[in-house]
Amino acid sequence: MEGPHTSTAGRKPAMSAGQIWNMSFGFLGIQIGFELQNGNVSRIFQTLGAEVHELAILWIAAPMTGLLIQPIIGHLSDKTWSRFGRRRPYFLAGALLASLALFIMPHSPALWVAAGMLWVMDASLNITMEPFRAFVGDNLPDRQRTRGYAMQSFFIGIGAVIAGALPWVMTNWLGLSNVAPAGEIPETVRWAFYIGGAALLSAVVWTVLTTKEYSPEQLAAFEAARHKALGLAPRAAASVQRSAGQFFAGGLGWVLAGAILAAAIAVGRSAMRPDWLGDIDIAQELYVLAGLIAGFGAVQLAAGMLRAKGRGESGFMEVVNDLFAMPATMRQLAVVQFFSWFAMFALWIYGVPAIADYHFGASDPATRGYQDAGDWWGLMSAVRNGLAAAAALGFVVIAARIDRRRLHGLNLALGAAGFAGMLLVRDPALLWLPQIGLGIAWASIVSLPYAILAGSVPARKMGIYMGIFNIFIVVPQLVAATLLGFMLTVFFDGAPIYAMAIGGASFALAALATLFVEDAGSVAKAMPAPVGEAA
């Protein structure tokens, strides 16, 4: 199959604005699905009987699914080549499953069903999303990658605007009810999920039908030409192999750390005053965190056993080995990603209960005030993401003139200010002000780190490294899901608004971490395009 362009100079040719648009359009649908999930799942959980302190642990399904799915899909899509392409079969399969989940979730009859549907929905969205990240790295040369990821960010913003506004529009423009009997999902939420499912599938199908892909052989030739132009030595055919002893040593350390934490939780729980937290048991979240720590050690022990037996060629071993052989730029970005996504997860989990309690004075999900707060937060999410879409277009121009990492650090600092504004602004009508900083930061998070990363990893492993990179999105979400409920309960008397304060502090740390990132693709980005090509 012929790629997006036919190269005559050995270098990967530029794509036109229309081709980049079509290649990125599927992200419109993906983000509609994610934003409906992010903006309404806590609302659905509480409607079905969940307490505020239980939300974080119920949300653990989303990051856990991404942790398992994205590296696997990245590895498989790197190895896939058929008449349907390399990444596109995964786009379509994930979109079909995610659309089905969107239709089913608002009909969940019980909390456990809704929690299970979150697993299905998030897994399906991840199957679609991960190859889309690698798609830009596959198809665009270094000098256009910021533009490509910014276009994805633009569609992320537009999709989120649509999804965020849907419940509010249906209540205030179409007259549908946003209140339902106890234990039932409001009509506005159900219809938002129906429309979102149809839009998701339609947008992804558009990209599948309008965009071609380069073959693995073409990508290898482009990468060789790029290395020659930059004066770089070709990358080794395989990553540096981690020894069985290294895997065993690391694995035992992590398992021991998890066991020590679990023991400390048990001792602390038995010593806790019975009346300190009333009927709230916060130990379950901490036990999950201990299990995750030990689980990472168990993965290394399994890899060590396979390596010791000479069975080091499986997909599992390739993913685990590549995790420990990441380029330096990817390691540095991992720190930035950790604090960035910890903050965003705090916003998604606690946005609705925070403004319902702090700005509307309504903490009971069965009241109209709470449901009005949910609709208003959806509209504020639309404002935030509309600003993100506009900011993403601005990055295309700004990133060509200044250092991408410094731009990302500035954007994250603006996001920290936005979180602070959530506490300082008490009038719900003025909540659009904090969304300015949060929107700019969000546009940056979903574009600039990927543009920086794509220039530092080999083309043949673009999918697997994008999947591994997602670990540093997922791990902070898992930490947030296990620690946020504990932190709010112990330090802030369970008040959800203080999740915004925690998010602001996390964004500030992410901004500082960007100062230590090396942009490995900056030299290639600055190279002039061949005569006759678009920049």
Predicted pLDDT at 534: 39
Predicted pLDDT at 276: 42
If we measure between CA atoms, which residue out of 455, 433, 437 comes closest to residue 445?
Answer: 437
Q: 160: which residues sit within 8 A by CB, 6+ positions away?
A: 31, 32, 34, 35, 381, 382, 384, 385, 388
User: Which DSSP string do the residues of 453-469 spell out, in sequence order?
Assistant: HHTTS-GGGHHHHHHHH
Long-range contact pairs involving 171-177 (C-beta distance under 8 Å, separation at least 24): 171/375, 172/375
Mean pLDDT by 10 residues, the chain (535 residues): 51 88 93 85 84 73 72 82 87 93 91 88 86 85 83 86 83 82 83 94 95 86 72 52 88 93 79 48 70 89 90 78 85 94 90 90 82 84 87 81 86 96 92 94 90 79 81 82 80 89 96 88 47 38
Q: Model pTM greater than 0.85? A: no
Q: What is the DSSP letter of 146?
A: H
Task: Classify the C-alpha dihedral 520-522-524-525 as positive or negative.
Answer: positive
Predicted pLDDT at 231: 58
